[in-house]
């Protein structure tokens, strides 16, 4: 069956209904169509994305522009299948199968789906077999078709004799039956039900390591949660299950398995003592049994010598016990034994940071300097903090020297704009305003959407920005054909390679699938173009637009974000509005505006948070368990649902409307709590309100730029800058003719409107 398009998001149309093939969808600043392939018609896609199959079918039937009869037939087949007009659908797909070698496998797949729905399994097998005979199908698509063949074969439908794909299918099926989680569980459960528990455990012991971590965790949890006896398990496997459960954060289960294994007479022979000692300490640490963990780590260190992870865990256990003296002793041991280790860098960083917080800037500068020759993620930021220590002491000339040294040493650093920004701050403090503005103007030219570029523009003021850069507006308005020429002109020469014959076919297939909103399947054919033609910026632009037009915001932004990274810095000033619009898209704008108006929140702030939190992926889940577009934790969602008096399950957060409503409501609460201060609101969104309060109370007297630099968590400092950069960029775009967001008039005049 044709998969349904995503729920209607009118904002997609604002950005992407830019195809000449559907003139009513055109934006004021867009006049040409994506080249997927050239002259392709996208009629009906807009209507299908908006949720109306009837309107989509009418649009395709009325389309007299399309030069591609086979694509039109394919869309008619797909839309009729959605309407369950199976006779019309099969007729159209059969015509495509006869008339287009490129689209034939896609058409036959759909005929197979229709046959399955009509319980004509033999016809379905024949159709899928025909699709699989096509040359050059991506492996992922072949496996996708295999998954459709498998239940038919399971119901007794014979595989076509002599078909070239059958042997590959059999290998795929054997691997899947034996090694996937559900297959392994099924076999083990069947053996156990027959009284062959020992045989089931033996099979599980052999094949559990072949599963990925997530699958293995699920198998262990489901198969051993209620098991009363582990007597059939070998001691070695018991210990393996203890390790597996620890890795899965099932610590009570891990402790149980380890305890059972340790009681076995053969434990010493079956399990290395070193591994057992380490696992026991790790389980105690994970269960927050701090004293037990500290004692076990101390015993391990005495028996086996220094290890980085052991020393750091012992230090943290003592720190959690409130024993600062012992914690410091273990940190010192780490510095002694592992002077160039990344964790040593963290120890040195923490010491220097604490000294800086205490106002001992000279000692802090020396501490940061010790980090320069260590390995880890803090090295470049240590140079920045080192220079800031001189800024705090009002030794501006020295700070400039250190910042200049940093820029020469790390010309590609992610802290380059920060270093230039603070260089300008130092020059301003020295009354060298013209020099400061020259440096700040360079940031604005090279990366105008960056946080530091916006801050520089704010400090310079509108009158000073225009002379410092060629023109002050963020984006350039130009006809679509000129924007496309601009993208071609900045693409590296290596991107000029022509598509291979097979890639041309894949592009045609992917585009056809996008035209009927089958974006997940289209990705099987199109992902190749993101990696192998990444320098073809015009192609990447077209892919981003096409994914958005087909209703897949996450994939559209995945492409456009990579496109943004590949635009040369010297060409980022005044990018075409079309290009900047797909890098900062107005996805979900109607839904955002609806809830933002209800809770009196600036919708541009919601978009800015969403862009950073989830990259517009409604199904994304963080390692910590936060879900969806606004990355709402289930526990937080439950509390919000109670306040809003709406029903709730964890799965509610995958619903884009629920998720946006809950995230916007949470922003409203934090805006009220922190009197509209965006920085504190974002601190609380990322790190919790308690940390935002702590940083506010501790650093309330600092100038704003130092306040941001003194946010206590590395991740949160970066998060605040990125979201504020998003927000200021969205604000500038919202004020640019041609960029539509449907902003309401309800917003209150918060004190942060003029941004510091």
494 vs 108, residue with greater confidence: 108
In this structure, the number of other CB atoms found within 10 A of the CB of residue 472 comes to 17
Residue 139 sits in a domain of what CATH number? 1.25.40.10
- 517/8 Cα distance (integer angstroms): 12
Please tell me whether residues 260 and 171 are part of one structural domain: no
Please tell me whether residues 434 and 461 are part of one structural domain: yes
Q: Tell whether 532 is covered by a domain.
A: no
Q: Tell whether 204 is covered by a domain.
A: yes
Of the residues 276, 311, 336, the one at which a domain ends: 336
Q: Tell whether 130 is covered by a domain.
A: yes
Q: Tell whether 504 is covered by a domain.
A: no
Please tell me whether residues 168 and 200 are part of one structural domain: no
Q: State how many domains the chain has.
A: 4
Task: Please tell me which residue in 109, 553, 613, 709 is annotated as part of the active site.
Answer: 613
Q: What is the pLDDT of residue 198?
A: 58
Distances (CA, A) of 749 to 147, 597, 600, 602, 753: 56, 14, 11, 11, 7
- The tokens for 578 are 């079309």
CA atoms within a 13 Å half-sphere pointing along the CA-CB vector of 712: 16
Residue 677 sits in a domain of what CATH number? 1.10.530.10
Please tell me whether residues 142 and 215 are part of one structural domain: no
Quick: pLDDT tens for 685-714. Answer: 999 999 999 999 999 999 999 999 999 999
Q: What is the pLDDT averaged over residues 606-620?
A: 97
Q: What is the pLDDT of residue 274?
A: 96
Quick check: is 709 catalytic?
no
- 62/507 Cα distance (integer angstroms): 25
Give the model's confidence band at 14: pLDDT under 50 very low, under 70 low, under 90 confident, else very high. very low
Please tell me whether residues 93 and 136 are part of one structural domain: yes
Please tell me whether residues 69 and 41 are part of one structural domain: yes
Looking at the predicted structure, is the pLDDT value of residue 200 above 60?
Answer: no
Of the residues 468, 497, 529, the one at which a domain ends: 468
Q: Tell whether 717 is covered by a domain.
A: yes
What is the domain range of residue 610?
589-734
Please tell me whether residues 246 and 359 are part of one structural domain: no
Q: What is the pLDDT of residue 250?
A: 81
Please tell me whether residues 458 and 314 are part of one structural domain: no
Q: Tell whether 501 is covered by a domain.
A: no
Please tell me whether residues 123 and 166 are part of one structural domain: yes
Q: Tell whether 522 is covered by a domain.
A: no
Lowest mean pLDDT among 177-186, 232-241, 517-526, 688-697: 177-186
Please tell me whether residues 162 and 257 are part of one structural domain: no
- Which long-range contacts does 451-458 make (Cβ < 8 Å, 24+ apart)? 451/417, 451/721, 451/722, 451/724, 451/725, 451/728, 452/417, 452/418, 452/420, 452/421, 452/721, 453/417, 453/725, 454/724, 454/725, 454/728, 454/729, 455/421, 455/705, 456/421, 456/424, 458/755, 458/756
Quick: pLDDT tens for 371-383. Answer: 998 888 999 999 9
Looking at the predicted structure, is the pLDDT value of residue 407 above 50?
Answer: yes
CA end-to-end distance (rounded Å), the chain: 55
Cis amide leading into 37 (omega within 30) = yes
Of the residues 179, 210, 227, the one at which a domain ends: 179
Please tell me whether residues 321 and 368 are part of one structural domain: no
Q: What is the pLDDT of residue 36?
A: 58
Reported pTM: 0.82
Q: Tell whether 740 is covered by a domain.
A: no
Average pLDDT, the chain: 87
- 462/104 Cα distance (integer angstroms): 58
Please tell me whether residues 326 and 425 are part of one structural domain: no
Q: What is the pLDDT averaged over residues 352-359?
A: 93
749 vs 64, residue with greater confidence: 64
């Amino acid at each position: 069956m044709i998969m349904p398009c995503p729920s209607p998001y009118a904002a997609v149309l604002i950005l992407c209904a830019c195809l000449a093939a559907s003139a009513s969808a055109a934006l004021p600043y867009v006049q040409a169509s994506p080249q997927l392939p050239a002259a392709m018609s996208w009629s009906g896609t807009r209507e299908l994305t908006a949720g109306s199959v009837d309107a989509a079918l009418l649009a395709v039937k009325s389309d007299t522009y399309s030069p591609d009869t086979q694509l039109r037939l394919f869309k008619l087949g797909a839309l009729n299948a959605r309407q369950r007009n199976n006779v019309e659908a099969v007729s159209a797909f059969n015509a495509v199968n006869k008339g287009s070698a490129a689209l034939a496998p896609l058409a036959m797949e759909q005929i197979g789906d229709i046959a399955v729905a009509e319980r004509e399994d033999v016809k379905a097998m024949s159709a899928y077999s025909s699709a699989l005979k096509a040359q050059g199908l991506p492996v992922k698509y072949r496996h996708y078709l295999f998954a459709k063949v498998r239940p038919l074969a399971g119901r007794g439908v014979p595989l076509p004799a002599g078909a070239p794909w059958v042997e590959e299918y059999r290998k795929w099926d054997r691997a899947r039956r034996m090694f996937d989680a559900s297959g392994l569980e099924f076999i083990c459960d069947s053996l156990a039900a027959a009284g062959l528990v020992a045989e089931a455990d033996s099979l599980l012991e052999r094949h559990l390591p072949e599963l990925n971590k997530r699958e293995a965790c699920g198998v262990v949890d489901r198969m051993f949660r209620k098991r009363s006896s582990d007597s059939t398990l070998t001691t070695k496997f018991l210990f393996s299950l203890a390790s597996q459960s620890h890795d899965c954060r099932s610590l009570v289960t891990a402790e149980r398995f380890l305890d059972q294994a340790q009681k076995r007479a053969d434990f010493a022979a079956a399990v290395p003592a070193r591994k057992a000692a380490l696992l026991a300490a790790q389980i105690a640490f994970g269960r927050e049994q701090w004293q037990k963990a500290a004692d076990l780590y101390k015993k391990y260190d005495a028996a086996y010598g220094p290890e980085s992870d052991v020393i750091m865990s012992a230090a943290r256990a003592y720190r959690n016990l409130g024993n600062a003296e012992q914690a410091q002793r273990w940190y010192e041991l780490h510095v002694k034994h592992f002077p160039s280790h990344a964790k040593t860098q963290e120890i040195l960083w923490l010491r220097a940071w604490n000294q800086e917080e205490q106002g001992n800037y000279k000692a802090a500068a020396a501490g940061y300097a010790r980090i320069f020759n260590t390995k880890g993620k803090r090295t470049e930021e240590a140079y920045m903090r080192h220079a800031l220590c001189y800024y705090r002491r009002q030794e501006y000339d020295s700070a400039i020297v250190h910042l200049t040294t940093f820029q020469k040493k790390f010309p590609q650093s992610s802290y380059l704009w920060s270093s230039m920004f603070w260089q300008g701050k130092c020059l301003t403090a020295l009354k060298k305003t013209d020099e400061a503005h020259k440096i700040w103007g360079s940031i604005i030219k090279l990366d105008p959407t960056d946080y530091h570029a916006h801050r520089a523009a704010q400090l310079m003021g509108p009158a000073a920005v225009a002379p410092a850069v060629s023109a002050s507006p963020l984006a350039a308005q130009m006809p679509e054909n000129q924007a496309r020429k601009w993208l071609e002109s900045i693409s590296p020469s290596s991107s000029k390679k022509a598509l291979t014959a097979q890639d041309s076919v894949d592009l045609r297939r992917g585009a056809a699938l996008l035209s009927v909103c089958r974006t997940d399947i289209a990705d099987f054919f199109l992902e190749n173009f993101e990696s192998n033609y990444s320098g073809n910026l015009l192609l990447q632009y077209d892919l981003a637009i096409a994914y958005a037009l087909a209703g897949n915001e996450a994939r559209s932004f995945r492409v456009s974000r990579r496109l943004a990274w590949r635009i040369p810095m010297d060409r980022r000033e005044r990018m075409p509005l079309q290009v900047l619009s797909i890098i900062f898209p107005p996805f979900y704008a109607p839904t955002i505006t609806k809830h933002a108006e209800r809770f009196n929140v600036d919708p541009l702030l919601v978009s800015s948070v969403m862009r950073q939190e989830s990259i517009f992926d409604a199904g994304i889940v963080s390692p910590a368990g936060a879900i969806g577009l606004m990355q709402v934790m289930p526990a937080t969602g439950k509390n919000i649902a109670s306040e809003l008096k709406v029903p709730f399950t964890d799965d509610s957060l995958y619903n884009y409307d629920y998720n946006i409503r809950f995230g916007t409501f949470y922003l409203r609460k934090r805006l009220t709590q922190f009197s509209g201060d965006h920085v504190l609101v974002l601190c609380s969104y990322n790190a919790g309100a308690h940390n935002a309060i702590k940083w506010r109370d501790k650093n309330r007297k600092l100038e704003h730029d130092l306040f941001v630099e003194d946010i206590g968590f590395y991740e949160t400092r970066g998060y605040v800058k990125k979201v504020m950069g998003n927000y200021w960029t969205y604000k500038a775009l919202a004020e640019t003719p041609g960029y539509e967001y449907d902003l309401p008039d309800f917003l209150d005049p918060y004190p942060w409107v003029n941004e510091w």
